[in-house]
Structure 1
């Protein structure tokens, strides 16, 4: 054996462990002290600073560029690579937020945000979000937060009344329309699929979903998530105004039935994503009723416009739907996320997803919103919709949408003046689709319109988006921000005409 064997220095190890324990104790005490501090005046001071920042941000958001001039990774490189061991003062954190994070945001509350469907935020919703965070409830069961459940039910029913739907509809709030549509598809799948809930899809007949070629991608995504697969989705052709053709839907359903494929859902859209077109819902509802197919209406963007009586004609027939989705976090100005799913019969929803383990059983199961949808935990989203109605009122909400529609119609008229642009679709609600035409030169037309859009967006004052209609690149402008005024739209139109003139010398406009 060797004369000397290296043995661990037990004493040194113990002393080192003691030093580590002392450091951990000190850190723990600091953390506890910070937590105690945050329970009182520190929280009050932080909320004061945050509220001052919020008011100043909203007042001066117009001074910021809508789109940040950054590259992928820039924001992350400005942030610390590891979490701090010790607490930092809120003032420093807020300063970093303002300097490194806000400067890297696309400002959806900017009055020049005219892309997609705007999700701007009204002030009462901001206050409501603070209160939601303060109470921190989980409304999965009625008993885990009775008021949160009942406020949500009330706010949803107020929305139903405001848009003129009958009291045969009830509903609840999800995060986004994608989740609402997915949940509706699960209910439709259960009704059409002979025990899919327990046995899965392989044991039943193949199912099909029917929607317009202009509908939102969430319909296709829902079919993927529901296990039906993309091939189950039938994209029904549209007419010259980009509305689903009823005769084409009827033919597709008949062809599937002949092949032993069972129709599960028809999804009609009131306010499609690209053009805000309106499918002929009465005709589609009649087909769905005749064939026994679930009718879902996607009115995520346009649905709230039914608050204005003069817009109700666009919504004829939606009362016959089995389910409808509307997003208050779009046109109404409720902060993300707030998507309302309405339904005429709750039973298919409970049949598709309700599952109550013993530890969640209660005598109030019929009022448990967790049974309608995939998520168990549920935020107190109803509070901000309830507060929105209380602080703005249905007349105020409807008036904002009227103004947006009028601004969009005026913008369309000005765009075509002089011939620099043409409309690519009928103006619908507050959405305008247009392009600078180049007859006989498809590639040149696309390059031109891409460059026009790029120049306008690079200016920092306006942000527009694009789509494709009839195979042609199309610029898209949608007024929906609660902050947008006529002068902001005029600024965007001026920028569009300047870009078109610069890129097409000698052309009209």
Structure 2
């Protein structure tokens, strides 16, 4: 492909993307294919000769599209959203064109300095401590691993990186509702799943601090070493909000590293109304949230904040000769702030989104999404055959059909509702289990969602339940 062809096909692709997003509601939200269907349409061997771009784009529509679940569809209510926006998509195109490798300041000074500035914007936008520093990680899973590794090294005076473990029994604490990435992180960090302590939760799925302190005391009495506490603001299953301030006091009392995971809910802290959940954040050590979930910045983009950046850098820095520069120590070399050496220019799309929406525009959008969830919550409360399972906090509604008196029958009908709704192609929802109850989860946080989308979903759910 030459420059003229690139220009021609580039215009064609932009038109294709615009048409796709404009007409996205004509597609089934959840892919309806069976395992192996897509692979069966693809050749076993790579082509020997190049193919035309027209053929490539045609194959996207004919072979790839049937296997796509449309995360940007307004009726995508599953998991938590992974939102995009027009500004973010265009920024990603520019990022791809620049092809920058942003491992150190000198490989692209603008990338490093823009990232530093945009992270300061987020600190101001969401009410975080002004003295903290920020960096963009790819995902919350990576951010959590980074925090646990930093906690491990801070405890060991940065010696486990060099000497490995020497029979230390490090312990990590989180609620029984915390994201599975915590389990994976303690495995990767060498701490081990047996040393991940899951703390009981209350009826709103929030960690109970007195059980946390009891677990810490028990471990200390057994010569085990409390290393890290994970507080979750907005659990994946139900948006349970752990009591940050009380947990932070315990972490300070026992000198334990404290990480706060607000992957989904963190975007809502642009609304001052919700910042009471952040009370005590200044006592924590690290914090993260995902602009790629609810701040209209397409995947991947995790905003990660740290109180003591020197502990973070000392955990990850390695300085081979070929990376030595004259600017080291004067600038942020973000390769030392996380796991990978190579880094994408993620700050550009976040910069585009914040500037295109403005902080007020982001607030308005998130407030609208929360209002839609509140409307659905009220419909559930008013219906004789449905009930809320936990209180709604933000834009996630967790509820179930209670048509029967028997638990198993109710579980079966809720599973039937989910399967039928998803098979219809009209919407996509997911489930979780709360105290052995099979419950439905509906998120109203997709970028372009409107009230009529939620109304149609509620109508469909009621029809299936009958």
- TM-score (normalizing by structure 1): 0.89
- Report if the CA contact (8 A) 1:215-1:269 is conserved: yes
- In the alignment, what sits opposite 1:275? 238
- In the alignment, what sits opposite 1:484? 449
- Report if the CA contact (8 A) 2:84-2:297 is conserved: yes
User: Mapping of 1:349-388 within 5 angstroms?
Assistant: 349-366=312-329, 367-388=332-353
- Which of 212, 228, 238 is the equivalent residue of 1:249? 212
- In the alignment, what sits opposite 1:407? 372
- In the alignment, what sits opposite 1:500? 465
Q: Provide the rounded CA distance (Å) in 2 between the counterparts of 1:204 and 1:146.
A: 43
Q: What SS does structure 2 have at the residue aligned with 1:143?
A: helix
Deviation, 1:77, is 1.2
Q: Provide the rounded CA distance (Å) in 2 between the counterparts of 1:186 and 1:339.
A: 17
Q: What SS does structure 1 have at the residue aligned with 2:231?
A: strand
Q: Does 1:330 align with 2:293?
A: yes
User: Mapping of 1:99-114 within 5 angstroms?
Assistant: 99-114=62-77
- In the alignment, what sits opposite 1:86? 49
- Report if the CA contact (8 A) 1:193-1:204 is conserved: no
Deviation, 1:362, is 1.2
Q: Does 1:77 align with 2:77?
A: no
What do you get for the CA RMSD once the two structures are aligned? 1.1
- Report if the CA contact (8 A) 2:388-2:399 is conserved: yes
- In the alignment, what sits opposite 1:461? 426
Structure possessing the higher radius of gyration over alpha carbons: 1
- TM-score (normalizing by structure 2): 0.97
- In the alignment, what sits opposite 1:427? 392
Q: Provide the rounded CA distance (Å) in 1 between the counterparts of 2:75 and 2:60.
A: 23
Q: Provide the rounded CA distance (Å) in 2 between the counterparts of 1:140 and 1:473.
A: 45
Q: Provide the rounded CA distance (Å) in 1 between the counterparts of 2:371 and 2:277.
A: 16
- Report if the CA contact (8 A) 2:244-2:277 is conserved: no
- Report if the CA contact (8 A) 1:236-1:244 is conserved: yes
Deviation, 1:483, is 1.4
Q: Are the structure 2 counterparts of residues 39 and 154 from structure 1 closer, same or farther at C-alpha, using a change threshold of 3 Å?
A: farther
Q: Provide the rounded CA distance (Å) in 1 between the counterparts of 2:83 and 2:108.
A: 28
Q: What SS does structure 2 have at the residue aligned with 1:172?
A: strand
Deviation, 1:175, is 1.1
- Report if the CA contact (8 A) 1:433-1:474 is conserved: yes
Gaps of 5+ in 2: none
Q: What SS does structure 2 have at the residue aligned with 1:252?
A: helix
Instruction: Give per-residue Cα distances to partners, 1:175-195, cap 9 Å, x unaligned.
Output: 110000000110001111341
Q: Provide the rounded CA distance (Å) in 2 between the counterparts of 1:199 and 1:440.
A: 59
- In the alignment, what sits opposite 2:308? 345
- Which of 146, 154, 160 is the equivalent residue of 1:191? 154
Deviation, 1:166, is 2.1
Q: Provide the rounded CA distance (Å) in 1 between the counterparts of 2:385 and 2:223.
A: 52
Q: Provide the rounded CA distance (Å) in 2 between the counterparts of 1:102 and 1:156.
A: 35
- Report if the CA contact (8 A) 2:174-2:196 is conserved: yes
- Report if the CA contact (8 A) 1:267-1:297 is conserved: yes
- Report if the CA contact (8 A) 2:137-2:302 is conserved: yes
- Which of 72, 81, 84 is the equivalent residue of 1:118? 81
Q: What SS does structure 1 have at the residue aligned with 2:291?
A: coil
Instruction: Give per-residue Cα distances to partners, 1:385-444, cap 9 Å, x unaligned.
Output: 011111111111111110111110110110232311111111111111111125652221
- Report if the CA contact (8 A) 1:120-1:329 is conserved: yes
- In the alignment, what sits opposite 2:382? 417
Deviation, 1:303, is 0.5
User: Mapping of 1:141-160 within 5 angstroms?
Assistant: 141-160=104-123
| Displacement over 4 Å in runs of 4+ | none
Deviation, 1:81, is 2.1
Q: What SS does structure 2 have at the residue aligned with 1:483?
A: coil
- Which of 155, 175, 182 is the equivalent residue of 1:212? 175
- Report if the CA contact (8 A) 2:72-2:83 is conserved: yes
Instruction: Give per-residue Cα distances to partners, 1:137-192, cap 9 Å, x unaligned.
Output: 10111111111111111111111110011221111111110000000110001111
Q: Does 1:265 align with 2:228?
A: yes
- In the alignment, what sits opposite 1:129? 92
